[in-house]
Structures are given as structure tokens and as C-alpha cells.
A = this chain, B = another copy of it.
Amino acid sequence: MAPTPRRDGEATRQRLLRAALELFTTTGFRATTTPQIAERAGVAEGTIYRHFSSKEQLLNDVYRAAHRWATTLVVETEGPYRTQDRLQRIGRRLLEGAERDPAGARMLLQSREDQYLDDRSREAAREFRGMLQQVIAAGKSDGAIRPGPADLWAAVWLALVGFAAERVAAREWTVEQPQAAQVLDAAWDAIKAG
């Protein structure tokens, strides 16, 4: 009957992002209701709107956070590596991410809910894929990659890593099981030259 408890505002925001992320990636954006999000976050329904202007805004924030993490991850693998090795490291870290945070990996790699994304989110997705394309493009100029556009092979490689990540996120595989490495190898074989 009065304002109420009191929590660190930032913590509340994080709890909402996490609750939304988990629900959106398992139940889907449309099928997830704001009461569900609030309940999982342990706050009242109205509190969502203190931190996000709408359910779509919440989706977009969650989506961009996943892509920022992935973009950072690609940046961190920069160095004097051959393309194959670098992709291997990126793939490995994506799967480790899927193990540690299944929901985050799914938000990144499955592309349901595209229709609800705003321009900034699309830009974030482009940035992540663009970084991958640069990795592949570098490989192309070394002759390590098949003929054909770099963005095509980036998308192909990512499709297979996404496939493996979903298995890991679903707890059907762990990163240490051979299937994970086998699919990463297959992803490389799909795009490598010759």
C-alpha cells in the first residue's frame, strides 16, 4: 500500500534484463508476458516501466547486450594468428559462453524475433557480423578461404557455430565433448579453400 521495499536501482534493472533474456530465449518474445518477467525478476509489474519504455525496448536492450559481449569477444582474439586458429578460438569461446550463459548465447545466435528489433539493434548485429567478416576476409587474402564473398562464408560459419551453441545451451553437449570440436572443425572445412 506504499511505495515499497527498496533495492539498488541498477540491480533491479539487471534482474529484469536477465529475467527477460531467459524468458525470451525459451518461451519467445510474444509468448512471454510482462507479468512473467516481473515475477521472475521479483518485482512488481509496473516496475518494468521505470527501467524500460516497453517490452520491445527490453528485448532490444537484451539483444544489444548479447551482441556487445560477442563483439568484444571477437576483438579479444585479435593477434598474430592464422585465420583458422583465430576462428577456432572464437568458436570455442562462443561455445563456452553458451555453456556459462545459455540464454545469452541463444539471444545472440538464434534469430527469432528479428521483427521486433530497432535500428540500433540491427546495427549492433551488423557490427558483430562485420567483425567476423573481417576475420574471414583476412583469410581470403591469404588464400585460406573458398572463392565467394566473405560475408557469405562468415554467415555459413556462424550458422554451424550457432547449431553447436544451441546444443550446448540445451545441455545436450558440453564444450568438452567431441561433438563440439567436431562441429567447429566441420565449420572450418565448410569455408576453407580447396
Interface of A toward B, CB cutoff 8 Å? 27-28, 30-31, 112, 115, 146-149, 152-153, 155-156, 159-160, 163, 178-179, 182-183, 186-187, 189-191
Contact = CB atoms under 8 A, between A and B. Distances in A.
A152 B30 contact: no
6 contacts: A28-B115, A147-B182, A148-B178, A148-B182, A152-B183, A160-B160
Contact of A190 (B30, B149, B187): B187
Nearest to A158: B163
A150 to B, nearest CB: 13
Residue among A148, A187, A190 having the largest count of chain B Cβ atoms under 10 Å: A190
- Identical chains in the assembly: 4
Contact of A115 (B27, B179, B187, B191): B27
Contacts of A163: 155-156, 159
A115 B147 CA distance: 39
Contacts of A156: 160, 163, 183, 186
